[in-house]
Amino acid sequence: MNTLDDIIGAVRKDLTARRRLIPEAELSDQVAEVGPGLDCAALLSGTDGLKVIAEVKRSSPAKGNLADILDPGGLAAEYEAGGAAAISVLTERHRFGGCLADLDAVGARVRVPLLRKDFIVDPYQLWESRAHGADLVLLIVAALEQPLLAELLALAAEIGLTPLVEVHDETEVKRALDAGAWVIGVNARDLRTLEMDRGTFARLAPEIPDGVVRIAESGIRGPQDAADYAAQGADAILVGESVVTGGDSKRAVAALVEAGRQRGRALR
């Protein structure tokens, strides 16, 4: 069993327990009251410079514990003040130390869009995500069979979520496009092996057509990486570790935003 399979097994067990507590019909009623989320594809397009999605992230399978985040809402507010275009909140608890309460806490403090970053394997989790205030939701191609991927994409759009479809090779890019993805994240880390390849985005970006939002994920160490991804055609970057562990989260995000903006100006 690889790392991704191990994580998904635990996610399914947690999902079964949550479904017993709150039926899907109840979540559907909550979503009807909340209404649709923001149009995140338009907000994340790189027409006016590289966007930064900053992540509330306590730990990871690759690095272990990263930070003891006692106030996720306060951290997210720092990200927003630094210019983050959206906030990603990890809600998987076993390997990332997150929970849906973190998503609620962040939503109460910021006005920018929220990404629920988890391992979505069932429609229930989409209803759950929107009920807790998410505007975006992560769909990992490697974790989903093609019919389910297409089903989840369609349902996400129907209930007002923007699906960020994550890929890490050419085959997965094709699968994402065939399923109808309009926002694609290229992950430099293979979740099955946890190996990092920072050349992944440059290799896959040409396979993603114009009009589809391109997001570079993982391994972003600082402003130079942001500038490099902007030069390679990224509309946005998703960054967690460097802004969580850097000491001044607001300044770290602002530096990434500025690097992407400067590189964008140089390319025009």
Catalytic residues: 55, 57, 117, 166, 187, 217-218
Distance, first Cα to last Cα, the chain? 47
CA dihedral 30, 36, 37, 40 (to 10 degrees): 150
Q: How many CA atoms lie within 13 A of 115 on its CB side?
A: 32
How far is CA 129 from its chain centroid?
A: 13
The pairing of beta strand 59-60 with beta strand 64-65? antiparallel
Determine contact, residues 117/88, Cβ cutoff 8 Å: yes
Q: How would you class 79 by CB atoms within 10 Å of its CB: exposed for 0-12, middle for 13-18, buried for 19 or more?
A: buried
Which whole-number Å values give the CA distances from 10 to 137, 141, 209, 236, 252, in the listed order?
19, 18, 35, 30, 33
SS3 193: coil
